[in-house]
Amino acid sequence: MDKFSRRKNVIIGVLCAIILIFTTVIQSDMYKRTAWGTKHVITVGAFSDSYWEVQNGYSYYILNDAIQRFEEQYPNVKVRFESGIMKEDYSEWLAEKMLSGDTPDVFFVLPDDFNGLAELGALKDLSDFTADDSTFDDGQFYDSAYAYGQLEGVQFALPYECAPKLMFVNKSILDREDIAMPKKDWTWNDFYEICSKVTKDTDGDGEIDQFGEVGYSWRDAFTSNGVELFNQDGTQCYLAGENTKKAVTFMDRLEECSGGVNVGSRDFDKGNVAFQPMSFSEYRAYKSYPLSVKKYSGFEWECIPMPSGPNGDNISSLDTLMVAMNRNTKNAKYAWEFMKILTYDKEIQSEIFKYSEGASVLKSVTDSDEAPQELGQHIDGSGILNQQILSDAIENAAVAPRFRNYDYAVAEIDRAINEIIEGQSNIGTELIIWNRSINRKLKNSGW
């Protein structure tokens, strides 16, 4: 072999070695985790404090764990988010991002923002993802929580965590009055009878100082009596229905039961009120020591389902934090996979019971044997919420239809109910008048 041939073979050998080394390097995890190896970056919009408006030192724990889990599965994708955004500033921050064309690929959606974002076309329709992904089964979610992310039948968001409304009961008052704890299928009649019995002047000074309830609203009454306020597309209001009339009449009776005294939530905190509807998240936040001592001292209390109306059931409303995808994202595939990690991965969802005050949106997680253990670490021993009550409350929660101007319509109904209860006119007649007015505005987009 001549000198030229030997040199040629050496060069070819060196080139092959370089190619082999280069191929090995770029296929290694180390390379993929470097800036040169990263092919995709997805951004996430999140806020730093708790959605449930309580002190929480674990605000990014779940998100960071989800990111770590995702990047282990997709080492060529980096997930980034901007930290330090408070919940009260989050909606404005997100709006500014959208206006500047820098919308995150994936972002959390507050319930009050959902309708507006969906109507503006900011949220990507997830229908194709949910239908084509063989690893995804929407039946794993609680139906009510999953429906929270729908507008006019289109799935625009996935549920992340939720909290149903439950009835807090001052057990100490009931014990003093020799009243048994209501059963889970209790009714409006049971509710009213107990409220009437416990409302009294306990110290003999001539003023009522113990009350039946505080915070029970027309929305609670409507939900528990099968009231459907609107049709699905929001073109028709049914405020004058018979179920509605019964609910408003019941609210009027409850109002009279307090003897004209303006009862506040602070009265419940002091142990002077038998019932107050609250979110499950508040149960978790204030069942923990030492907050339970600070807020509710001197009495025992527990949670049960809401009372049912004559034409309804023991159900209530549900509050749900959601996750959505930017309609114009260029990383839809990875955005969807990250959304699934946050909402559909059982290990990540189980962390909600550890690091947040809500409940998991997955039935298998909330119903699991581990859930009561996590809840047990946050309570002070005066009673553990029955796991089945929680699961049933989420599964059976009422989901209102979503449509344009929904918030304006509900605000108008709130004004109507307050005026009817405060007035002296016939309830049925007033409901008909208000119903006509609201329907005119719905038809003519009068808001």
d(CA 90, CA 27): 39
Please tell me the predicted confidence (pLDDT) of residue 259.
Answer: 78
Contact between 333 and 103 (Cβ < 8 Å) = no
d(CA 285, CA 305): 18
Q: Which residues pair with 41 in a beta bridge?
A: 78
CA torsion sign, 342 to 347 to 353 to 356?
Answer: negative
Q: Which range has the worst mean pLDDT, 14-18, 175-179, 438-442? A: 14-18
Q: Tell me the per-residue pLDDT of 144-165, one tens digit each, with 9 for 90 and over.
A: 999 999 988 899 999 999 999 9
- Report which secondary-structure segment, H or E, holds 5: helix 3-26
Exposure b/e, 393-411, CB count within 10 A at least 16 = b: bbbbbbebbbbbbbeebee
Q: Tell me the per-residue pLDDT of 82-100, one tens digit each, with 9 for 90 and over.
A: 999 999 999 999 999 999 9
Q: Tell me the per-residue pLDDT of 181-218, one tens digit each, with 9 for 90 and over.
A: 999 999 999 999 999 999 999 999 989 999 999 999 99
d(CA 350, CA 342): 11
Query: What mean pLDDT is reported for the chain?
Result: 87
Q: Tell me the per-residue pLDDT of 161-186, one tens digit each, with 9 for 90 and over.
A: 999 999 999 999 999 999 999 999 99
The contacts of residue 220 (CB under 8 Å, 6+ apart) are 165, 277, 306, 316, 317
d(CA 295, CA 222): 30
Exposure b/e, 76-87, CB count within 10 A at least 16 = b: ebbbebeeebeb
SS (HEC) of 243-289: HHHHHHHHHHHHHHHCCCCCCCHHHHHCCCEEEEEEEHHHHHHHHCC
Please tell me the predicted confidence (pLDDT) of residue 295.
Answer: 56
Q: Tell me the per-residue pLDDT of 37-92, one tens digit each, with 9 for 90 and over.
A: 557 999 999 999 889 877 666 879 999 999 999 999 999 999 999 999 999 999 99
Amino acid in the structure at residue 434: W
